[in-house]
Amino acid sequence: MQGSFRLFRIAGVDIDIHWSWLLVFILLTWTLATGLFGEEFSGWTQAERWVAASATSIVFFGSILAHELSHSIVANRLGIPVRRITLFVFGGVSHLESESRTPREEFLIAIAGPATSFVIAGLLGGLWVVLSPVREPAAFAAGYLAVANGVIGIFNLIPGFPLDGGRVLRAFLWSITNGLLRATRLASWVGTIVAYGLMVLGIAVMILTGEILSGVWFIFIGWFLRNAAETSYQQVLMRHLLSAVPVRSLLDRSYEWVAPNMTLQTLLDEHILPRSARYFPVTGGSGLGGVITPKDVRRFPKTAWASTAVYQAMTPAERLAVISPEVSLDEALQLMSKHSTQQLPVMEGGTLVGFVTRQDIMRTVQLRVELGVAEKRETPV
Ligand SMILES: [Zn+2]
């Protein structure tokens, strides 16, 4: 996600914070310090209120993180790698590297989050009961956080995809229809209805209670959910579509071999610019010696282009991510993301047979979606 930075790493998962989440953190702390804590403990100094409010916000942050981590831990256990969690204005996202393979996996990953929130709510509720006769402020914070976690658990169980409840619904539909795509379409459709429902609720809240901020908040969440439902469905559609198409059918064979001792300047003047090509295989001892791209050239200062040879700048064959023509375009895209590259050399029996590019893959998706032939290939899983 653009605009996020890594905070720390826990259980093998990077925890990233998006700037929008900081806004929520500050807003929550401010609301607690000036509002709730101020009203409840009028004898407190400003400093005491702010300390208590910050501590409460940090525990709140911890509970959202625990919710998200539980999704990731279950996914990792099931063999679906999660390397990153991003916390942002509406909560958190676990970046699963692939989709669940069965309805059961989908259900387990989805339900782990709300279950964790309810367990935390229960524990804090218990703490509230124990503490309320003795230490008022801590009890107050525990009670407040117990309710907050309960609300998070309930909200996430709303059956609109891609909320957790929507994923549970998708798992259920998937198990009865035997088609992930169809199940996703239905669950996203419910998600869209829920999203519009939240927007209408937001408007109603504004009109009926005059609570502008709460109303706007509901509208924002609804708007976000609507987009998420749409993009999640598009993603599943795309992956579904690409998983049925082999790399072989989209090979680019129009590349030009270049010699390893050619200078970067010659490469630029005689090959890159005239052909506006983005990758060149470099000849090596026994076939492919490496691949050079404009990005590799840019790593050297302009003044060095005339004196640097292609082999010094290229990615050598042994460090290249390569792919077989028989694997699916979906796998090709995943490999490209993993290696942050726009194209992959396609190798068959140790020989270069072509390249597959992200651009070509996107074009084929676009074309199939435009022609309306994207959804017809569903096969039972
Ligand atoms: Zn969740």
Beta carbons within 8 Å of 304's beta carbon, 6+ residues apart: 264
Cα–ligand 1 centroid distance for 160 (angstroms): 12
Residue 380's pLDDT band, with cuts at 50, 70 and 90, is very low
Query: How far is it between the farthest Cα atoms of the chain?
Result: 82
* Residue 296 confidence (pLDDT) above 80: yes
Cα–ligand 1 centroid distance for 123 (angstroms): 19
Beta carbons within 8 Å of 264's beta carbon, 6+ residues apart: 297, 300, 304, 305, 306, 308, 309, 310, 313
- Rounded to an integer, the average pLDDT of 76-92 is 80
**Whose CA is closest to 308, among 272, 268, 261?**
261
Cα–ligand 1 centroid distance for 212 (angstroms): 27
Cα–ligand 1 centroid distance for 353 (angstroms): 44
- Encode pLDDT of 306-338 as tens digits: 888 888 888 888 888 889 988 988 888 888 887
Cα–ligand 1 centroid distance for 113 (angstroms): 4
Cα–ligand 1 centroid distance for 341 (angstroms): 31
Q: How far apart are CA 172 and CA 236, in angstroms?
A: 17
Q: How far is CA 50 from the centre of its chain?
A: 34
Cα–ligand 1 centroid distance for 51 (angstroms): 29
Of 42-56, 216-230, 240-254, 297-311, least confident by mean pLDDT is: 42-56
Cα–ligand 1 centroid distance for 87 (angstroms): 11
Cα–ligand 1 centroid distance for 283 (angstroms): 50
Task: Return the SS3 of 323.
Answer: strand
* Residue 130 confidence (pLDDT) above 90: no
Which amino acid would we find at residue 333? L
* Residue 381 confidence (pLDDT) above 70: no
Q: How far apart are CA 220 and CA 202, in angstroms?
A: 9
φ/ψ (deg, to 5) at 365: -65, -50
Cα–ligand 1 centroid distance for 75 (angstroms): 12
Residue 378's pLDDT band, with cuts at 50, 70 and 90, is very low
* Residue 108 confidence (pLDDT) above 90: yes
Calculate helix-pair angle for 358-371, 212-242, nearest 10 degrees.
Answer: 100
- Rounded to an integer, the average pLDDT of 43-61 is 79
- Are the CB atoms for 17 and 5 separated by under 8 Å? yes
Cα–ligand 1 centroid distance for 338 (angstroms): 24
Cα–ligand 1 centroid distance for 4 (angstroms): 19
Cα–ligand 1 centroid distance for 196 (angstroms): 20
Question: In the chain, pLDDT over 90 holds for what percent of residues?
Answer: 8
- Encode pLDDT of 243-267 as tens digits: 888 898 888 888 888 888 889 898 8
Give residue 371's pLDDT.
75
- Rounded to an integer, the average pLDDT of 225-231 is 85
* Residue 379 confidence (pLDDT) above 50: no
Give residue 123's pLDDT.
93
- Encode pLDDT of 176-212 as tens digits: 887 888 888 888 888 899 889 989 999 998 888 887 8
* Residue 116 confidence (pLDDT) above 90: yes
Cα–ligand 1 centroid distance for 164 (angstroms): 5
Residue 361's pLDDT band, with cuts at 50, 70 and 90, is confident
Cα–ligand 1 centroid distance for 155 (angstroms): 10
Average pLDDT over the chain reads 83
Cα–ligand 1 centroid distance for 244 (angstroms): 30
Cα–ligand 1 centroid distance for 54 (angstroms): 24
Cα–ligand 1 centroid distance for 116 (angstroms): 9
- Rounded to an integer, the average pLDDT of 99-119 is 90
Q: How far apart are CA 114 and CA 150, in angstroms?
A: 9
Of 63-77, 121-135, 158-172, least confident by mean pLDDT is: 121-135
Give residue 166's pLDDT.
87
Give residue 150's pLDDT.
92
- Positive or negative torsion for Cα 251, 255, 259, 263: negative
Cα–ligand 1 centroid distance for 369 (angstroms): 30
Cα–ligand 1 centroid distance for 156 (angstroms): 6
Cα–ligand 1 centroid distance for 71 (angstroms): 7
Cα–ligand 1 centroid distance for 152 (angstroms): 9
Question: In the chain, pLDDT over 70 holds for what percent of residues?
Answer: 94
DSSP H helical segments within the chain, as ranges? 19-31, 37-40, 46-77, 103-131, 136-156, 164-177, 180-209, 212-242, 264-266, 273-275, 294-298, 310-313, 329-338, 358-371
CA-CA distances (angstroms) from residue 269 to 265, 266, 274? 6, 5, 7
Cα–ligand 1 centroid distance for 17 (angstroms): 16
Q: How far apart are CA 26 and CA 316, in angstroms?
A: 48
* Residue 165 confidence (pLDDT) above 80: yes
* Residue 377 confidence (pLDDT) above 60: no
Q: How far apart are CA 191 and CA 6, in angstroms?
A: 30
Cα–ligand 1 centroid distance for 91 (angstroms): 8
- Are the CB atoms for 198 and 181 separated by under 8 Å? no
Cα–ligand 1 centroid distance for 6 (angstroms): 20
Of 4-8, 187-191, 202-206, 339-343, least confident by mean pLDDT is: 4-8
Cα–ligand 1 centroid distance for 326 (angstroms): 36
